[in-house]
Structure 1
Amino acid sequence: MENEEHQLGKPFKITNRSREIKKGVVAESLEDLTSKVRSKLNIEENENVTVVLEVDGTEIDDEEYFSTLDSNTSLMILTQSENWVPPSPPCRLNIDQVDDTKGGTELVGLVDRLKSNLCHLSLLGGAELELLSDMDPESLVDITFPDRIFLENLKEASGRYLVEKRQAQDAMDLLRLYQEKENDGGN
């Protein structure tokens, strides 16, 4: 089996810096890998390519180290001046936690919850978004949150989400009216 592996190469999982693209590649050598990666990820021949371990950013720059890698090792392909970045934590949403914010939880509790997981912002209702977009970051900085920039950005993002939610609701209402008009006209 190992002889077959050396003849055919080893399978590797490859990804780009943003981890949005994930592909599989079978390669016999580092040179073979970079050649196949250029094709799979549409990287120009004149563009520099760096291969690193996806898990910790260790650069793989010689055939000797490449040959020690296990099959199915996850590799990240970096181009030009890109640097390895650790994976960002997944956006885990706990619906029960978000539901808890509805029903009058104070602004401080809402901000605290969002500071621990910003993903909840997209699930908030209009009342919570309005509360956040109307908040005074200065008053919260004094109470519990020393990060004024976070509070200012949260206020701005909340305002944008609120506007988008209202626009989406208006569009849905208009569509509903149009559909009702169509249904009434067909009867």
Structure 2
Amino acid sequence: MTDGRPCKVCNFTRQKSYGVIVPSLDDLKKKGCEFLGVSPSAPVTVVLEGDGTIVEDQAYFLCLPFNTKFMLLHDKETWAPARKIDGGTAWMARESVVLEADAVDSCIAEAPWWNLALQLKQDLTSIILMSEGDLQSLVEAPCSELASALGFQEKKAEELQETLQRVLDRREEERQSKELLQLYLKAVENEDRQQGATSPSSQDGAGDVDMPDGLEADSASEFMSRTLMVLKGKTSPETRLSTEDLQAVVSRGLEAMQQVLGWDAGRTAALLQACEAELSTRLQQIQAMQSISGTQQDDGKPRQGAGTATQGSS
């Protein structure tokens, strides 16, 4: 006799979902009807929950991977994407929902975050490739629907949206930092031009031209001038720098940074501590992303036997 296969079965509203272990397609129908409260004698159609593919052949059923989720349809029920049915209005669909192709296309157009969510479901690191508009649409997406699209628990989807908002905030900070840096560099350039016109020594390269504090040390140490500008010109500069720049600052140590910046030991030490704390925070964010990714895999594991009914959030 064929060994049992772990599967999941849900009703067409996805409000009820159970884990079952069955050896055949017929047994899936029988157990599914039992758990979902459908009469065993009622004709039902088995479809794949993900895309609505009808499953009628036992051989095809056996070829599907373990933990595949099926939907049982009976009477006038029809398959619909998870995003189409809201938990508060799903009951209205029982009598008359017929999803035409143009209606589905319209829904997709109204929810541009859906395809982005599918990208994240495949690979969370695709976040770094998304535009700010893409990230904003994911942040503004209904949390319960985003959780359904990603296969996450709603709490994990909320944590993801918080992470995306932090990414947006960081990009805005970086943009503002670059704009201020450009203004500062122009001011320095104008000041140097004025000093060059009034100081004879500037023409022979004697090295005694008044330059912005720290720029000569920058040249000597091959330290990036833009990093120095941010460090010396902004409050909480550690939040403005890239991770690579933060690592460069921290790795130089107290004495080297004190010489580069021209600051006293106490002020330089405080800056280094802030940079180290920011690096630690970013590492925690990366670990959080990895945790979300791991949870995505854990959420797909079925329980043995008939599971407890879970209320769908779509």
Q: Which category describes the TM-score, using the shorter chain as reference length?
A: 0.3 to 0.5
The structure with more helix, counted as a fraction of residues:
2
Larger-Rg structure: 2
TM-score by length of 2: 0.27
Q: Which has the higher contact order (CA 8 A, sep 6+)?
A: 2
TM-score by length of 1: 0.44
